[in-house]
Every structure is written in structure tokens, then in C-alpha cells.
Amino acid sequence: MRRVVSLGLILAAVVGAFAYLQVATPAWLQRLRYPLHYESIVRGHARNYDLDPALLAAVIYQESKFHADARSDSGAIGLMQLLPSTAHGIALHTGGSKFRTEDLYNPEINVRYGAWYLRHLLDKYGSERTALAAYNAGQDNVDRWIANGEGIAFAETRAYVDRVETLKRIYRKIYRLAPASSTSRGTQASAPFAS
């Protein structure tokens, strides 16, 4: 009888602990699930390009889970999953005359170029959701959707934008990644792809 009671108490404690973690996940556990590797690089380039650091961290997590050696089937490379052709264009705009594709495996270069590109998209579209859609689906697709008065046509891109927005809130909360007071340009959730 004692064994049954002991086993029941242990089982109840395990179930209770599991339920607690599902409802009120402690910050230390959230940090294990949502790492912030290269934090100084993320914060530094967020500041340099007037980006919300939580947004930059969210894009990196969604793109590569902070794996610097990530490579997609489409050929995108590194933390921010930049296509070599995109990165070469960014290098030309930013004075990187000695850029090589292999440089995209370098976290500092990858995040610098990805942050520049994200700022470019925010400035071009004036909306965080639209910029995220362009980051995922490409500017040509987004330009066509806007010209046709459509919303985001790809289900994968809609899910991507929603997921990055959720991740941004998570990173802001667990790492206290508040945007700089000046980080407001081009980040409103306005049309055409407002939620």
C-alpha cells in the first residue's frame, strides 16, 4: 500500500511539474529553447542599422536557429540565410569589395549583411510585416502582390511572418531586448500586410 501511495505522489509531482512548465515556463528554460548566441553581434548590428534587436534575433532564430553553418536547399547561407547573390549586392552597397561567398559563414558578416538587408526592406516597404514577407518570399513577389492589391499569397510566407512576430515577443521578454527609443522608422504593422 505504501508503494502505491508513494508512486501516486511521485506521479502527481511529475504531472504537476510538467503542467507548471507548460503554463508558466521559467525564463531559464525559455533561454534554453530560444538561445541568443552572438548576442553582442546581434545587439551591435541592431543598433547600427536602427533595428529592434528582438526582431533581428527572431529572424535569425527562424532562419537558422542560430547555427552559423546553416545552408538551405535553395543555397541560402549562415545565421540569416542570405543567398550569395543577395549578399554580393549588399557588399557592393556597403563597400565590401573583397567579399567572398564563404564569408557568409562568418557570424559577424552574415548578421551585418542581414541587418542591412532587413533595414533596407523596412525602409522600402514601411511595414514590418511586409518587410518580413519580402525577406522570406523575395521583393519581386511582394511587389507583385502589392501591385495586384493582394495579401501575402504564399501560406508559407504568412506562417513565417506570424512566427517571426511571435519570436520577437519571446526574445523581447526573455532577453529584455527592448528597441532603442529611436527605433521606430519603418516598423509599424501597417498595410498592405497588416495583421
**Residue with grid cell 525564463, as numbered in its chain:** 27
Using only C-alpha atoms, what is the Rg of the chain? 20
Among candidates 82, 134, 85, 90, which has minimal Cα distance to 106? 82
Find the range with the poorest average confidence among 15-29, 46-60, 101-115: 15-29
Residue 22, pLDDT > 60, answer no
pLDDT tens digits, 159-187: 999 999 999 999 999 998 887 654 445 45
Which CATH architecture best describes the domain 34-175? Orthogonal Bundle (1.10)
Task: Give the tens place of pLDDT for each residue, 67-122.
Answer: 999 999 999 999 999 999 999 999 999 988 899 999 999 999 999 999 999 999 99
> pLDDT band at 1, cuts 50/70/90?
confident
Q: Where are the domains of the chain?
A: 1-26, 34-175
Residue 27 pLDDT class (50, 70, 90 cuts):
confident
Partners of residue 77 on adjacent β-strands: 71, 82
Helix 84-94 and helix 107-125, axial crossing angle in degrees, nearest 10: 80
Residue 38 cell numbers, joined: 552572438
pLDDT at 190 over 60: no
pLDDT at 130: 98
Amino acid at 159: A
Query: Which among 70, 164, 157 is positioned nearest to 111, based on CA atoms?
Result: 70
Instruction: Please provide residue 138's backbone torsions phi and psi, each rounded to the nearest 5 degrees.
Output: 100, 150
Q: Whole-prediction pTM value?
A: 0.84
- The catalytic site residues sit at 63
How is residue 161 written as a grid cell?
Answer: 511572418
pLDDT at 183: 45
